[in-house]
Amino acid sequence: MTTAATKRSSNDSTIDAPAAKRPSTGTATNILEAEWNELAFGKPFANKYDGYHVGFGFGDDRNRLTLQMATPPDMVRAPFEPRVPTTGGGGGGGGADKGSSDPSFVIELDDASHAKMLAFETKIKDTAVAKRAAWFSKGKHAPTARPKTSDDQLRWDFKSSIKEGNADKGWLPTLRIGISQTSPPTILLTELKSNGKMTSPRIGSVDDLVANAAVVPTIRPNGGMWTGALGFGVKWVLESCLVVTNKSAAKGAEIDMGGVEFESDEAGEGAAEE
């Protein structure tokens, strides 16, 4: 049964109130299998930042979009521990906003995932150009306020969550992900055994997202696409994360022990007693 959206007044204009939450598919979509041409967008609704949010999802029902960024035993690297950003772009509650109280971190993207996320952002920008009259009905993108804003300028105003890498320095592209303090993510811990199997997951916490963590994260857009005085974009937030503890925090070169064999602690204690 479909429930009609109610109306409310904002700044002397009538807009659509946010619709009820869309159904979840139950399983995250692997990033490499996401089909961006299946994205469907809802009507804009006001947010607390004097801008709008636009919900989106897969299919006509706009099923909740949750992306899984790796499939075990593969994992991605989170080079830095979460922290509250002090710089960065993004307005209207999106991006890595300066002044945001929610911490965020980044994950590295391989070539395939990087291409997929860039294609997603291109889809958002192209749709924004096509729907600019509805999505930017006030503020800097309003047709009456900035009638000469070109399509290219509008695309330029998109605040990306992707930071490009540096091949010369060996840096991979990264994707910034927020960590909601009001809806904390589920963190699970496991270990990857030498036979390729993983131990049964156990409950962890955000504190387990150490620098150089090896993770299998699922992410979702925070309220859809945001628009505001600084532009528009999509803020990704962490929904759940599997942390592979024995593959995390690996840093520095391994020491060459020259083929030395090590005894267990028990064997060492026995030898000492003799």
DSSP class per residue in 42-103: ---EE-TTSSEEE-EEETTTTB---EE---TT--EEE-S--B--SS----TT-SS-TT--S-
Cβ–Cβ under 8 Å, residues 207 and 133: no
5 in any annotated domain = no
Mean pLDDT of 37-63: 83
222 in any annotated domain = yes
Where does the pLDDT of residue 199 fall: very low under 50, low under 70, confident under 90, or very high at 90 and above?
A: very high
**pLDDT tens digits, 127-149:** 999 988 888 765 555 544 444 57
Where does the pLDDT of residue 231 fall: very low under 50, low under 70, confident under 90, or very high at 90 and above?
A: confident
269 in any annotated domain = no
In degrees rounded to 5, what are phi and psi of residue 119? -65, -35
Going by DSSP bridges, is the β-strand pair 231-244/158-159 parallel, antiparallel, or unpaired?
parallel
255 in any annotated domain = no
* pTM of structure: 0.77
Q: Quote the pLDDT of residue 49.
A: 65
Domain boundaries, position 230: 16-248
270 in any annotated domain = no
Our count of domains for the chain comes to 1
Which stretch of 18-27, 40-49, 56-65, 180-189 has the lowest confidence by average pLDDT?
Answer: 18-27
Higher pLDDT, 142 or 20: 142
Q: H or E element: which one contains 13?
A: strand 13-16
253 in any annotated domain = no
Distance of CA 82 to the CA centre of its chain: 13
| Percent with pLDDT over 70 in the chain | 70
Mean pLDDT of 154-158: 90
87 in any annotated domain = yes
Q: Kindly list the distances between the CA atom of residue 153 and the CA atoms of 45, 147, 231, 237, 241, in Å, as whole numbers in the listed order.
A: 23, 12, 10, 27, 36
Mean pLDDT of 31-46: 92
CA angle 6, 9, 10 (to 5 degrees): 125
**CA-wise closest residue to 178 among 89, 86, 105:** 105
74 in any annotated domain = yes
The 10 Å Cβ neighbour count of residue 79 is: 15
Is residue 267 pLDDT above 60, yes or no?
no
Is residue 71 pLDDT above 70, yes or no?
yes
**pLDDT tens digits, 80-101:** 999 987 654 443 333 444 446 7
